[in-house]
């Protein structure tokens, strides 16, 4: 099972974006327009692709975006500090992934990540506790939803594409995974995503009923907020992982 980071292990990206724009007194539509102009200079359509593959330094990218916004972001050298400040971790999904690993499921993270953000996301979760594999776009020069990203991840796991499941908040990434012969679960909240399905030949993960719960805290391990007696992701049914039992994920060249 491969989990995305932003929008899955964090609150929805739209919420974080709204906070960022309000803080800097810019309209979201204007920010999107500025980012579109800049990414067009690199011949790509995704606003963050120049950053997370990467084609340009974040400082230079910000300079270009800010110029399109009449200098609104001139004081920023990186988005990491303001983007991750007070950004909570989705503890329900963290608990679900931990339960999956305890049950023998191999868990990876597959994310389009900006290099200067790497240390920041790692402070939000215990990487070694949560993941068997981490594949980041800036490290491999590929990104979702490109087929090459999924093929690389499957090779690193040492499994066939059909044995991989992506959990992602973006429909286009899910579509890309399916085009690469993966299964995909479109993440909308911590409860509906895991019960939609599991890997082929396995039972799905089942989460207890309740809303997603985000909390602040170093590595996301502070005490969870409970919305009711059944909130959480601790009810993990028997799950026969196509990756086998716990142990080191097989590697391939």
Q: What is the pLDDT of residues 166-182, one digit of tens each?
A: 999 999 999 999 999 99
- Domain-wise residue ranges, the chain: 2-11+88-220, 13-84
**How sure is the predictor about 184, in pLDDT bands with cuts at 50, 70 and 90?**
very high
Predicted local distance difference test score (pLDDT) of residue 86: 78
Predicted local distance difference test score (pLDDT) of residue 110: 98
Mean pLDDT (whole number) for 99-107: 94
Cβ atoms of 136 and 129 closer than 8 Å: no
**How sure is the predictor about 85, in pLDDT bands with cuts at 50, 70 and 90?**
confident
- C-alpha 110/C-alpha 90 separation (Å) is 16
- C-alpha 225/C-alpha 118 separation (Å) is 26
CA distances, 179 to each of 165, 175, 183, 186 (Å): 12, 6, 9, 14
Note the helical H segments in 41-113: 49-52, 58-68, 80-84, 91-102
Q: What is the pLDDT of residues 110-138, one digit of tens each?
A: 999 999 999 999 999 999 999 999 999 99
206 pLDDT higher than 90: no
CA 71 to chain centre: 30
Q: What CATH number is given for 2-11+88-220 in this structure?
A: 3.40.50.1000
**DSSP SS3 for 15:** helix
As beta bridge partners, residue 166 has 2, 184
- C-alpha 4/C-alpha 244 separation (Å) is 22
Mean pLDDT (whole number) for 33-41: 97
**How sure is the predictor about 192, in pLDDT bands with cuts at 50, 70 and 90?**
low
N residues, the chain: 253
């Amino acid at each position: 099972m491969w989990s995305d980071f932003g929008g899955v292990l964090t609150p929805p990206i739209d919420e974080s974006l709204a906070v960022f724009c309000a803080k800097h007194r810019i309209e979201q539509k204007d920010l999107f327009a500025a980012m579109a102009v800049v990414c067009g200079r690199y011949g790509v359509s995704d606003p963050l692709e120049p950053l997370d593959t990467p084609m340009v330094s974040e400082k230079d990218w910000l300079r270009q975006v800010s110029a399109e916004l009449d200098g609104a972001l001139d004081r920023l050298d990186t988005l990491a500090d303001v983007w991750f400040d007070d950004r909570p971790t989705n503890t329900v999904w963290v608990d679900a992934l931990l339960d999956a690993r305890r049950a023998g499921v191999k868990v990876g993270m597959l994310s389009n990540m900006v290099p200067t953000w790497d240390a920041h996301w790692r402070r939000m979760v215990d990487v070694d506790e949560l993941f068997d594999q981490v594949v980041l776009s800036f490290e491999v020069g590929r990104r979702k939803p490109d087929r090459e990203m999924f093929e690389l991840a499957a090779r690193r796991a040492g499994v066939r594409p059909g044995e991989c499941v992506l959990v992602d908040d973006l429909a286009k990434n899910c579509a890309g995974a399916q085009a690469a012969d993966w299964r995909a679960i479109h993440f909308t909240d911590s409860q509906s995503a895991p019960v939609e399905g599991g890997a082929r030949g396995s039972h799905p993960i089942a989460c207890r009923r309740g809303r997603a719960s985000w909390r602040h805290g170093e590595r996301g391990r502070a005490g969870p907020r409970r919305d009711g007696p059944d909130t959480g992701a601790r009810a993990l049914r028997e799950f026969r992982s196509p990756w086998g039992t716990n142990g080191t994920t097989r590697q391939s060249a």
